[in-house]
Amino acid sequence: MILFRHLDSPVGTLTLAATDDGLHAVEFPRNRHPTDRDGWREGQHPLLDLTAKQLDEYFSAKRRVFDLPLAPRGTAFQRGVWLTLAGIGYGETISYAQLAQRIGKPTAMRAVGAANGRNPLPIVLPCHRVIGADGSLTGFGGGLPAKQFLLELEGALPRRDDLFG
């Protein structure tokens, strides 16, 4: 059974979901590709508390790397893309082409982009750090304002004070 809880954050109320196997999901209030919640139940779990603590530290600029057991559900290709995201450093951005090269599939940019867009663990596996080759902020499951906020928080973009204010 997957347990979930909500966490208030600067990018809206996040839904965190976990089992003893690891963290399954971090969802934005409006997710482009919401996770199937069949069998989910609201409840307490130590991993949910740890995830909330680490996300709070991240939003307070006190954490740059997450240290959580992860259990994302997806195809082998998707999981490979998602785990590669963890290697994109705090405050760093890369293009979809660079991400495709990092997974050893340089011609699979569209497939990499699709997998990136279905990342069930955004922020923790930082898909927001993948941008267009021209530096543009391209699609993001949590919305472009959230992507911009996260990149500004990390110093990858100059801050705009009025984004969520």
Q: In whole angstroms, give the CA distance from residue 159 to residue 84.
A: 27
Domain 76-153 is found in CATH 1.10.10.10: yes
**Nearest Cα to Cα of residue 128 among 157, 107, 104, 103:** 157
Q: Active-site residue numbers? A: 127
Q: Determine contact, residues 139/33, Cβ cutoff 8 Å.
A: no
Q: What percent of the chain has pLDDT over 90?
A: 79
> Which 8-state DSSP code applies to residue 44?
-
Structure tokens at 141: 């499951």
As a whole number, mean pLDDT of residues 109-138 equals 92
So where are the chain's domains?
2-59, 76-153
pLDDT(162) > 70: no
Equal fold, 2-59 vs 76-153 = no
**Using one digit for the tens of pLDDT, what is the confidence trace for 131-156?**
988 888 887 888 899 999 999 999 98
* Distance of alpha carbon 115 from alpha carbon 117, whole angstroms: 5
User: What's the confidence (pLDDT) of residue 58?
Assistant: 98
pLDDT in tens, 23-53: 999 999 887 777 778 889 999 999 999 999 9
Q: What is the CATH number of domain 2-59?
A: 3.30.160
Among candidates 68, 69, 71, 17, which has minimal Cα distance to 40? 17
